[in-house]
Amino acid sequence: MADGYVEGNFLGLSESIPEVDVVILSLPYELTTSYGEGTAKGPAACIAASAQVEIYDSLLSEDLPAGVSIHTAKEWGGFGNSLLAQLDSMTTYLQPWFVGDCFPIVLGGEHGILPTVMQAQSTSLSEITIVQIDAHADLRSQLGGEKWSHACAAARTLEMGVGRLIQIGVRAYSREEAEVIENDSRVQTFFARDLMSPCDGTKVWQELLAVLSSITGPVHLSIDIDGMDGALVPDTGTPVAGGLQMWHAVEAIEVLFANPSAKIISSDVNEIVPGKDSPLTQFTAAMLATKVLACHIHARQEGRWHSPTRNGKERPLIECDYFQSLPV
């Protein structure tokens, strides 16, 4: 826990200067989660649980925030009286923080937030690689008639023009999704059963690390916490057995951020649901978000992050109407 703990701030860190280097954004969005529920309370639970996360990270020579200014923004207000209006409203909330001057970490909320996070980007989507840790492929064309379901999040971002998608830990998917994985050259999926195979797992894991080390250009890292083994995230919307252990996730994140030819421009940690009996789910999410934060700060220290300016917390909103303008 940080000295001078500030309630409501990620890791309890105080905000001593007006300029923002890293922003923690919260999208308490829940519409289509199919099995469990409670993702709308996930971001706040994750921030509360972060109080118990160590501010020491072995990558850094000083404790977090390690000289970086971290701002925990007020959470999205849930505006919009239709699904599409809500998606636009989330994009409006996110956009001021995606102009390239600071590093956003978005806490969700169900994975249906991913298209809004991509719409908020100021970088051309065709240049961006999404690295997705997830139990599910999220490549369905629709689920229960809803194309904006969390089960379709990755498919929608490909339609929006995202250049490349690398999936890690997938183990629950449909025939339709298997065919997309097989046939869409933009998609590369590392299935959990291959990564964690008792005999060949090490070989496949090294193949994954080689891919993460060879990405070039801007990257968005999307962590659906159900990519972790269900035992670590028992309260997420759809916990699934046979997933990543903590050290898989930590190694994948560290190797990705260490890649000198990639720039990790943004990240999200989603499908967080506060546990009724145990804080393990939100604590696991807070640990993952903290690892992303530490890796970003390390990348700055190693000269892999450049921003032209350093701006404050008050930023003009530009209303987004992208989702409401799409042809039905």
Question: Which spans of this chain sit near Mn ion (rule: CB under 5 A)?
Answer: 111, 134, 136, 138, 224
> What's the Rg (C-alpha) of the chain?
18
Q: Transcribe 103-169 into DSSP letters.
A: EEEEEES-GGGHHHHHHT-SS-GGGPEEEEE-SB----S-BTTBTTSGGGHHHHHHHHT--EEEEEE
Nearer to Mn ion, 259 or 270 (CB): 270
Minimum CB–partner distance for residue 231 and Mn ion (Å): 18
Minimum CB–partner distance for residue 16 and Mn ion (Å): 36
**Distance (Å, rounded) from C-alpha 105 to C-alpha 116?**
14
Judge whether 233 and 224 are in contact, CB under 8 Å: no
Nearer to Mn ion, 75 or 177 (CB): 177
**Distance (Å, rounded) from C-alpha 1 to C-alpha 279?**
16
Judge whether 60 and 296 are in contact, CB under 8 Å: no
With 0-12 CB in 10 A as exposed, 13-18 as middle and 19+ as buried, what is 70? buried
How would you list the strands of the sheet with 262-270, edge to edge? 70-72, 22-27, 103-108, 262-270, 217-224, 129-133, 164-170, 187-191
What proportions of the chain, in percent to the nearest 5, are helix, strand and coil?
40, 15, 45
Minimum CB–partner distance for residue 167 and Mn ion (Å): 10
**Distance (Å, rounded) from C-alpha 103 to C-alpha 98?**
8
Minimum CB–partner distance for residue 32 and Mn ion (Å): 11
Minimum CB–partner distance for residue 3 and Mn ion (Å): 36
End-to-end Cα, the chain, rounded Å: 48
Inter-helix orientation angle 42-49/280-301, to 10°: 70
Minimum CB–partner distance for residue 177 and Mn ion (Å): 12
Minimum CB–partner distance for residue 270 and Mn ion (Å): 7
Nearer to Mn ion, 101 or 226 (CB): 226
Nearer to Mn ion, 101 or 134 (CB): 134
Minimum CB–partner distance for residue 151 and Mn ion (Å): 8
Nearer to Mn ion, 138 or 254 (CB): 138
Nearer to Mn ion, 57 or 173 (CB): 173
Going 143 to 86 to 235 to 191, the CA torsion angle's sign is: positive
Nearer to Mn ion, 69 or 86 (CB): 86
Nearer to Mn ion, 121 or 222 (CB): 222
Nearer to Mn ion, 66 or 131 (CB): 131
